[in-house]
Amino acid sequence: MENEISPLVKEQVLTLLGQTKKNIEEIEKLLRESKKGEESSFIKVLKEVVKKGGVVDKEVWKTIGNKQGYDSRGLGGFFKGDKPIMVSIAGDKRAITERGKRLLEQEDGEV
């Protein structure tokens, strides 16, 4: 049948839907925290990196993120886009970018 979707395409669609669901859950979490007047987990992650000097190794980065409820895919979001919040340096190091620092300054005047 010509209109059937291949198993590979179905698998890719399901993967994308799963990622979309995770993104929606993260957005909902941020909005809930914002309404409560709490710092978002996103901001807490950035503040922890800054507390440690702005650069952390890969394992410390994972630990910081996990404490705030991020998995590896969620932490990957900090590195995406034209102006990422975090960058990888020297292979196993993670550093906050100037954009990340500006976001913290906007949030509460820190950094």
32-62 tens-digit pLDDT: 766 665 678 888 999 999 999 999 999 999 9
In tens, the pLDDT along 84-110 reads 999 999 889 999 999 999 988 887 654
Tokens for 91?
């292979």
53 lies in the same domain as 20: no
Give every strand in the sheet of 86-89, ordered side by side. Answer: 55-57, 93-96, 86-89
Total domains in the fold of the chain: 2
- In this prediction, residue 37 carries a pLDDT of 59
**CA Rg, the chain, in Å?**
17
57 lies in the same domain as 100: yes
Residue 17 has pLDDT above 60, yes or no: yes
55 lies in the same domain as 100: yes
99 lies in the same domain as 58: yes
Comparison of pLDDT for 35 and 7, the residue scoring more = 7
| CATH number of the domain within which 76 lies | 1.10.10
Domain span including residue 99: 39-111
95 lies in the same domain as 67: yes
* Overall pTM > 0.75: no
18 lies in the same domain as 62: no
- In this prediction, residue 3 carries a pLDDT of 75
27 lies in the same domain as 68: no
- In this prediction, residue 5 carries a pLDDT of 86
Tokens 């901001």 locate to 43
Question: Cα(40)–Cα(55) distance, rounded to whole angstroms?
Answer: 20
29 lies in the same domain as 44: no
32 lies in the same domain as 43: no
- In this prediction, residue 1 carries a pLDDT of 52
54 lies in the same domain as 85: yes
- In this prediction, residue 109 carries a pLDDT of 56
